A and B are shown apart, each in its own frame.
Chain A
Amino acid sequence: MTEPFRVLPHIGPDNQFFWTSGRDGVLRFLRCRGCGYFIHPPGPICPRCLERDLSPEPVSGRATLFSFTVNHQKWSPDIEEPYVIALVQVEEQDDLRLTTNLVNVEPDEVRIGMPLRVVFEDHDPVFVPLFEPA
Chain B
Amino acid sequence: MTSYENRVVISGIGQSAVGRRLNRSAIDLTVDAALAAVADAGLTVADIDGIATYPGAGGGPAGFAGPGTPEVQDALRLRVNWHAGGIEGPAQMSAVINASMAVGTGLARHVLCYRTVTEATEQGGGGRSGIGAGIPKIGGTLQWTIPFRAYSAACWLALNAQRHFHQFGTTREQLGMIPITQRRHAGLNPKAIYRDPMTLEDYLSARMVTTPFGLYDCDAPVDGSTALIVSTADYAPDTPRPAARLEAVGTALRGRPSWDQFDDMTTMAARDAAASMWERTDLRPTDVDVAELYDGFSFLTMCWLEALGFCGHGEGGPFVEDGRRISLDGELPLNTHGGQLSAGRLHGFGHIHEAVTQLRGDGGDRQVPGQVEIAAVANGGGPLAGCLLLSRWR
Contact = CB atoms under 8 A, between A and B. Distances in A.
Interface of A: 6-10, 12, 15, 40-41, 66-79, 83, 85, 87, 95, 97-101, 112, 128
Contacts of B156: 99
Interface in B134-182: 134-139, 141, 143-152, 154-156, 158-160, 162-163, 166
A41 B159 CA distance: 18
A76 to B, nearest CB: 4
Contact of A73 (B144, B146, B166, B210): B210
For chain B, which range describes its interface: under 10, 10 to 19, 20 to 34, or 35 or more residues?
Answer: 35 or more
Contacts of A7: 132-133, 135-138, 146-147, 149
Given A7-B137, A87-B265, A69 B147 contact: no
Nearest to B215: A73
Nearest to A69: B158
A99 B144 contact: yes
17 contacts: A7-B135, A7-B149, A9-B137, A10-B139, A12-B139, A66-B265, A67-B163, A69-B159, A72-B210, A72-B211, A73-B154, A75-B130, A76-B130, A77-B134, A99-B150, A99-B156, A128-B148
B188 to A, nearest CB: 31
Nearest to B141: A41
Given A68-B162, A75-B133, A15 B152 contact: no
A72 B207 contact: yes
A97 B261 contact: yes
B208 interface: yes
A40 B210 CA distance: 25
A128 B147 contact: yes
Contacts of B159: 67-69, 85, 87, 99
A10 B138 contact: yes
Nearest to B258: A41
B310 to A, nearest CB: 24
B128 interface: yes
A72 to B, nearest CB: 5
B155 A8 contact: no
B149 to A, nearest CB: 6
Contact of B133 (A69, A72, A76): A76
B133 A100 contact: no
A101 B151 CA distance: 13
B128 A75 contact: yes
A115 B143 CA distance: 25
Contact of A67 (B130, B137, B138, B265): B265
A17 to B, nearest CB: 14
Contacts of A40: 261
A69 B135 contact: no
Contact of B137 (A10, A69, A78): A10
A101 B147 CA distance: 9
B147 A6 contact: yes
A7 B143 CA distance: 9
Most A CB within 10 A of own CB, among B127, B148, B210: B148
Nearest to A101: B148
B209 interface: yes
Nearest to B266: A67
Contacts of B213: 69
B260 interface: yes
B202 interface: no
A99 B148 contact: yes
B123 to A, nearest CB: 12
Contacts of A76: 130, 133-134, 149, 151
A28 to B, nearest CB: 15
Contact of A112 (B139, B145, B147, B163): B163
Contact of B151 (A8, A10, A75): A75
Given A7-B135, A73-B154, A75-B149, 12 more contacts: A7-B147, A10-B137, A10-B139, A12-B139, A70-B211, A71-B150, A73-B128, A75-B151, A76-B130, A83-B149, A85-B159, A99-B148
Contacts of A41: 141, 144, 261
B263 interface: yes
Interface string B334-371: 00000000000000000000000000000000000000
B137 A85 contact: no
Contacts of B263: 95
Nearest to B218: A73
A118 B139 CA distance: 23
